[in-house]
Structure 1
Amino acid sequence: MPAPPPSGYGQYGQPSQPSCFDKMKVGFMMGLCVGMASGGLFGGFSALRYGLRGRELLQTVGKSMLQGGGTFGTFLAIGTGIRC
């Protein structure tokens, strides 16, 4: 009896394509990273401009990072899902 093909390979040993859900997960993660980076930059500058320091600064920047990352990640996942 032959050995089963390694994980990630379809029938006859050919590489299988990622599913649409897998592509959407990758799109969401890429959007999350880009959105969190931009949220950190823009949120940090605006919080510093308002004169926030210490705990208030970290809370404000963290909130803007999560909001930006979640929003951009969701839109990128939806766009990837439309293309599937």
Structure 2
Amino acid sequence: MPVPQGMYGHGGSHQAPSCFDRMKTGFGLGFCIGLASGAMFGGFTALRYGMRGRELINNVGKVMLQGGGSFGTFMAIGTGIRC
């Protein structure tokens, strides 16, 4: 029985992704995780402070973008270090 070669093994025309491609993927993954955690924590905090309506949406959106950007940046840096 042949041994599996893996995703980027011999016998195919695929090449392994470059370090920059891996960093972009890490940023995207971190950004999505940061958005989700920002929605949860920002939403709960805004509701606890009694925000409603437009103020709630603006505050939660800002927290989501900040969380996504910062976590995505750190994931990209961590991925770059591993390259």
TM-score of the superposition, structure 2-length normalised? 0.85
In 2, the alpha carbon distance for the partners of 1:71 and 1:48 equals 23
Alignment root-mean-square deviation, CA: 1.1
Which residue identity lines up with residue 19 of structure 2 in the other structure?
C
- Identity over aligned pairs, percent: 70
Residue matched to 2:59: 60
Task: Give deviations 1:18-68, integer Å, cap 9, x for gaps.
Answer: 000000000000000000000000000000000000000000000000000
How far the C-alpha of 1:13 sits from its partner, in A, is 5.1
Q: Is 2:35 the partner of 1:36?
A: yes
Runs of 4+ deviating beyond 6 Å = none
In 2, the alpha carbon distance for the partners of 1:13 and 1:32 equals 32
Residue matched to 1:72: 71
TM-score of the superposition, structure 1-length normalised? 0.84
Question: Secondary structure of the residue that 2:17 maps to in structure 1?
Answer: coil
For this pair of structures, how many residues does the alignment match? 73
In structure 2, list runs of 5 or more residues that go unmatched: 1-10
In structure 1, list runs of 5 or more residues that go unmatched: 1-11
